[in-house]
């Protein structure tokens, strides 16, 4: 398929996009922008987005993606509550993952993938059980690292995003594919920002150690 044919297909998919999908993506974009601005409105926007997205993914046969959105829903509700309760307390420091962190991360990826693939291929009518399971398993691992404020979360999330983009186009969800591309770019920026934060933190600790001596 050449570029012009791909573009025509993309336009056709956009014309067939439902209002629910437009709303789900719009609230998803709002969530990311509010998160980048560190505003609490990211949580209500995120909750609306994942509810709409879960329905859309179930209809499209992306069952693992729908389950992943269910996880996002729980985390959004918890995050909203936690933000209100702990907003004046300092967050966990950003850091690189330890060997133990990587062991847990890889366990989440491969055990989660195997479990999801088994369930999707045996108990659903999914036409893409392998890729649906892989996208969700890598996202789960990335979310676990994000909760621990480990910089590698951006890598795992972008592995998920990289496979999710063509999968979403394949399932005729072009707006969600574009949203995922947007999230991919944000994740790259997040990795670079967190890397600078770690470098500054190490530099400050080194100065403090020298001053203490």
pLDDT in tens, 104-136: 999 999 999 999 999 999 988 989 999 999 999
User: Among all chains, which residue has been given the structure tokens 């998160």?
Assistant: 35
Q: What is the pLDDT of residues 26-81, one digit of tens each?
A: 898 888 888 766 577 888 998 999 999 999 899 888 888 888 888 888 877 877 88
- In whole angstroms, what is the distance from residue 26 CA to residue 89 CA? 31
- Alpha-helical segments (H) within the chain: 3-15, 19-36, 42-60, 63-86, 99-123, 129-147, 153-170, 174-212
Q: What pLDDT score was predicted for residue 93? A: 81
- In whole angstroms, what is the distance from residue 35 CA to residue 198 CA? 20
- In whole angstroms, what is the distance from residue 109 CA to residue 103 CA? 10
pLDDT band at residue 6, thresholds of 50, 70 and 90? Answer: low
For residues 171-195, give the mean pLDDT: 88
DSSP code at position 125: -
- In whole angstroms, what is the distance from residue 13 CA to residue 7 CA? 10
pLDDT band at residue 101, thresholds of 50, 70 and 90? Answer: very high
Q: What pLDDT score was predicted for residue 206? A: 63
- In whole angstroms, what is the distance from residue 177 CA to residue 88 CA? 36
Q: Between 180 and 1, where is the model more confident?
A: 180
- In whole angstroms, what is the distance from residue 170 CA to residue 198 CA? 38
pLDDT band at residue 10, thresholds of 50, 70 and 90? Answer: low
User: Among all chains, which residue has been given the structure tokens 């100065």?
Assistant: 207
């Amino acid at each position: 398929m050449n570029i012009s044919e791909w573009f025509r297909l993309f336009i056709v998919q956009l014309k067939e996009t439902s209002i629910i999908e437009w709303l789900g993506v719009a609230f998803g974009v709002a969530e990311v922008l509010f998160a980048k601005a560190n505003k609490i409105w990211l949580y209500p926007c995120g909750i609306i987005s994942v509810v709409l997205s879960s329905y859309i993914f179930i209809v499209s046969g992306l069952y693992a993606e729908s389950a992943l959105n269910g996880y996002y829903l729980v985390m959004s509700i918890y995050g909203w509550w936690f933000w209100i309760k702990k907003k004046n307390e300092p967050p966990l420091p950003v850091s690189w993952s330890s060997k133990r962190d990587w062991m847990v991360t890889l366990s989440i990826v491969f055990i989660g993938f195997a479990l999801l693939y088994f369930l999707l291929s045996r108990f659903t009518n999914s036409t893409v059980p392998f890729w649906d399971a892989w996208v969700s398993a890598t996202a789960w691992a990335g979310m676990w690292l994000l909760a621990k404020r480990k910089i590698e979360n951006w890598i795992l999330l972008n592995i998920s995003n990289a496979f999710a983009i063509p999968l979403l186009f394949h399932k005729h969800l072009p707006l969600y594919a574009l949203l995922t591309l947007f999230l991919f770019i944000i994740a790259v920026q997040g990795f670079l920002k967190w890397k600078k934060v770690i470098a500054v933190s190490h530099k400050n600790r080194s100065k403090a150690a020298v001053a203490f001596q």
